[in-house]
Amino acid sequence: MTTERSLVLIKPDGFQRGLTGEVLRRIEAKGYTLGALAIVTPTRELLAKHYAEHEGKPFYEPLLEFMSSGPVTAAVIEGQDCIKGFRSLAGATNPTDAAPGTIRGDFGRDWGTQVQQNIVHGSDSPDSASREIGIWFPEL
């Protein structure tokens, strides 16, 4: 098991629905710690850096529009294998496919093709975690 850090975002839909506390509770209940926490309304510039690998894809512009539509809770979580562990806690990307007991399974809504409105984001690898944490928390 590896102690690592991951970026977690509670997206505008989760923030608007008052789910920040519940998501953070589940993260801490899983045994992970919070290394940094901020509430921000992200700029397009920040989001363009974060989602750079998706530029040019059909969902890129709608994703940036959605993610800049309101406040986001950004957190750095720390713990053993927290990248894999949080992604399991989050559930499948599409809320319709997410298992009950996961964040998306319990709180996600069927958004049709708008899968980006799925409550949370979690880094998918140590490299992406490092890159994403540097974007959202450059002071770390």
Residues annotated within the binding site for ATP are 11, 59, 87, 93, 104, 118
**Which residues, other chains included, contact 43 with Cβ-Cβ below 8 Å and sequence gap of 6+?**
68
Q: Pick out the residues of the known binding site.
A: 11, 59, 87, 93, 104, 118
Say whether 121 is catalytic.
yes
Give the separation between CA 85 and CA 6, rounded to whole angstroms.
10
State the DSSP H helix or E strand holding residue 25, giving kind and residue range, or none if neither: helix 20-29
Cβ atoms within 10 Å, residue 88: 13
Which listed residue (51, 108, 121, 129) is catalytic? 121
Q: What is the 8-class DSSP label of residue 117?
A: -
Other beta carbons within 10 Å of 35 = 15
Question: Catalytic positions, please?
Answer: 121
